[in-house]
Amino acid sequence: MACTIEIPEKQTFADLKIQEQNAKRKVIIDAAERVFGVKPFHEVNIRDIAAEAGISHATIYRYFPNQQTLFLEAFLRGMDEILARIDAIAANNPAGNLLEAVVADFIDFLTQKDHYFRMMTHFMLDGELAPELVERLNNTARALLNRLEAIFTAGNTTENPRAMARALFAAINGVLITFRNYPGRDRQAVFDHMQFLGKLIARRFN
The pLDDT tens digits of the residues spanning 39-81 come to: 888 889 999 999 999 999 899 999 999 999 999 999 899 999 9
Fold type of domain 67-205: Tetracycline Repressor; domain 2 (1.10.357)
| Contact status, residue 170 vs residue 101, Cβ threshold 8 Å | no
Q: What is the pLDDT of residue 3?
A: 62
Q: What is the pLDDT of residue 1?
A: 55
Q: What is the pLDDT of residue 2?
A: 58
Pick out the chain residues at pLDDT < 50: none
Q: How far apart are CA 118 and CA 103, in angstroms?
A: 18
Q: What is the pLDDT of residue 16?
A: 79
Q: What is the pLDDT of residue 41?
A: 82
Q: Where are the alpha helices (DSSP H) in the chain?
A: 13-36, 46-53, 57-61, 67-92, 98-112, 114-126, 131-154, 161-179, 187-205
| Contact status, residue 71 vs residue 44, Cβ threshold 8 Å | yes
Whole-model pTM? 0.81
Q: What is the pLDDT of residue 154?
A: 86
Q: Domain map of the chain by residue range?
A: 67-205
Q: What is the pLDDT of residue 56?
A: 92
Reduced to 3 states (helix: H, G, I; strand: E, B; else coil), residue 92 is helix
Identity of the amino acid at 81: E
